[in-house]
A and B are shown apart, each in its own frame.
Chain A
Amino acid sequence: MRSWGVLIVGLLLGLVGGLIFTWFVMPLRYFDTYPPMMAARYRQDWIRMATWSYGLDGNWERTQTRLLNLPPSEIAAVSTEALERAAAEGRPAEILQRIAGLALAYGASGPGVSVYAEGDGALALPATEQLPSPTVPLVELSPTETATPRPQPTPRSAAAAGTATPPALTMTDPISIVSQTLTCELEPILAISLEMSQTVSIRGRETQGLVGLPMREIWLIWDDGADRAITGLRPQKGLGYADFAVVPDRTYNLYIDSPSGRPILTLQVEPCPPAEGTGWVSRMLILREALDPLPRTTGDSPVPPLTVSETLTLSPTLRVLATPSVSATPSSTPSD
């Protein structure tokens, strides 16, 4: 055998022996490591915990130190995931805003992050961070949405009008109920969309648009309980959207922002009209806040209850649609 052949044999033997030694006899062991060196699952867990901790204490400097040298994309992804979980669990708005601020600072995007970061939590960001303008859907106002006090119902179906009586909607403050849609469901819900009319300038033209109002508390109170929802938890349904599961045989009072004063609406879950089959009436309310709201009514001064008319239409499917034709706004409330 020639010398180079012997050299290759030696090389192979050394390589095999060396790999057995370095991989199995004395594998590499790490000491005094730090978070960026950890395996992905531990690294992501570290980020997750740091995110939760920031949500609780709001200590931005410490959080930055904890996340030093970790990949921003990983931080963005994990903090967005934490935000979604926190939102789904109905965590306090302050925590959601902080987590959204953190996610945004590390480059996360998406409707959820925009919704929460646009609140006061944006202050939690370092001063150098600039929040992008939130993307809000603009909805053109149709002429039928012009406020008209005390509208008259226009039943299209005598049967439906006779069986599905809309509840009296009372208002006490600058938030008005502009429409109500009823559907027949086996598991009824009360869905709310809180919005505000705004004048926006698009290419120099002023247009009236509707924007959803996120991060507002909606309270549903009944005799021996209460439930709270925050608008915007499901941005895909609208920034001002929130909903509640409701059950029959309860009288609910609906409040915005705080469960005090007079309710926006008092309602009960009613059975569907017999013609529509079994089930309960679910409601989708569109509430609109005036641009320059008046102070809330705190006393019991008589406020004439306003009734929103509904046009009830029977559809061939199991649905009762009640599309209101007008809104009801107290005359004392400044118009948009």
Chain B
Amino acid sequence: MKRLLAFLVGIAAGIGLAMLIGWVLFPLDRQEITPASMRADYQAEYLRLVAAAYQAEGDIAVADLRLRALGASPYTAPLVVLTERWIQEGRSTDLVTPLALLALALEVDSPAMAPYLARSRE
């Protein structure tokens, strides 16, 4: 009986130690926390930044990779959804246009974005 109790205590202590190691001290995924895990408002900010960086750098391949880091399927969905949502909410042109331009570059622009794209060409 005493041995059984010692065995169970050992098991419990081992599991506790493993949880501490595996989830707190050395979690396996620690190195790969991606933008996909960010809170929704940070993800929206991330999309804004991707669009602004695309404006500055003009590199669609890099913008493509950055969008894929959000882990959505299709990967352009967050961009389209956010752009259309902000258009619907009547957000400022300065805010929406870079997103619409990025969507256009990725060929996922929608009719709702057309006025912003037309204005950017003027």
A interface residues (Cβ-Cβ under 8 A, vs B): 1, 3-4, 6-19, 21-24, 27-35, 37-39, 42, 45-46, 48-50, 52-53, 55-57, 66, 95
Can you show 23 pairs from A to B with CB atoms below 8 A apart?
Answer: A1-B3, A3-B3, A6-B10, A7-B6, A10-B11, A10-B13, A11-B11, A11-B13, A14-B11, A14-B16, A18-B14, A21-B18, A22-B18, A22-B19, A22-B22, A24-B28, A28-B23, A33-B38, A38-B35, A49-B50, A52-B56, A53-B53, A56-B56
Interface membership of B12, Cβ < 8 A: yes
From residue B93, how far is it (CB to closest CB) to chain A in Å?
13
Interface membership of B121, Cβ < 8 A: no
Identify B28's interface contact among A15, A27, A53, CB under 8 A.
A27
From residue B96, how far is it (CB to closest CB) to chain A in Å?
14
Check A14–B14 contact: CB distance below 8 A. yes
- Residues of B1-52 at the interface with A, using a CB-CB cut-off of 8 Å, are 2-3, 6-19, 21-23, 27-35, 37-39, 42, 45-46, 48-50, 52
Check A38–B33 contact: CB distance below 8 A. yes
From residue B42, how far is it (CB to closest CB) to chain A in Å?
5
From residue A24, how far is it (CB to closest CB) to chain B in Å?
8
Check A7–B29 contact: CB distance below 8 A. no
Bound state CA distance, A16 and B18, in angstroms? 7
Interface size on B, residues (CB 8 A): 44
> Interface readout for B80-91 with A: 1 if CB under 8 Å, 0 if not?
000000000000
**Could you list 6 further interchain pairs (A-B, Cβ under 8 angstroms) beyond the known A18-B16, A48-B53, A50-B49?**
A3-B2, A18-B21, A30-B33, A33-B38, A34-B42, A56-B55
Check B22–A19 contact: CB distance below 8 A. yes
Interface SS of chain A: helix
Please give, as numbers and ranges, the residues of chain B lying within 8 Å of A42 by CB-CB distance.
33-35, 69
Of chain B, the residue at the smallest CB distance from A91 is B56
Bound state CA distance, A34 and B13, in angstroms? 33
Identify B7's interface contact among A7, A39, A52, CB under 8 A.
A7
Please give, as numbers and ranges, the residues of chain A lying within 8 Å of B7 by CB-CB distance.
6-7, 9-10
Bound state CA distance, A226 and B95, in angstroms? 34
Please give, as numbers and ranges, the residues of chain B lying within 8 Å of A39 by CB-CB distance.
31-34
Bound state CA distance, A31 and B34, in angstroms? 10
Supposing A22-B18, A50-B49 touch, asked if A6 and B3 sit within 8 A by C-beta, the answer is yes
Interface membership of B122, Cβ < 8 A: no
Supposing A6-B10, A39-B31, A39-B33 touch, asked if A22 and B38 sit within 8 A by C-beta, the answer is no
Please give, as numbers and ranges, the residues of chain A lying within 8 Å of B107 by CB-CB distance.
none
Please give, as numbers and ranges, the residues of chain B lying within 8 Å of A34 by CB-CB distance.
38-39, 42
From residue A90, how far is it (CB to closest CB) to chain B in Å?
13
Of chain B, the residue at the smallest CB distance from A52 is B56
Bound state CA distance, A55 and B18, in angstroms? 47
Please give, as numbers and ranges, the residues of chain B lying within 8 Å of A57 by CB-CB distance.
52
Please give, as numbers and ranges, the residues of chain A lying within 8 Å of B49 by CB-CB distance.
46, 49-50, 53, 66
From residue A121, how far is it (CB to closest CB) to chain B in Å?
16
Check B8–A28 contact: CB distance below 8 A. no
Please give, as numbers and ranges, the residues of chain B lying within 8 Å of A10 by CB-CB distance.
6-14
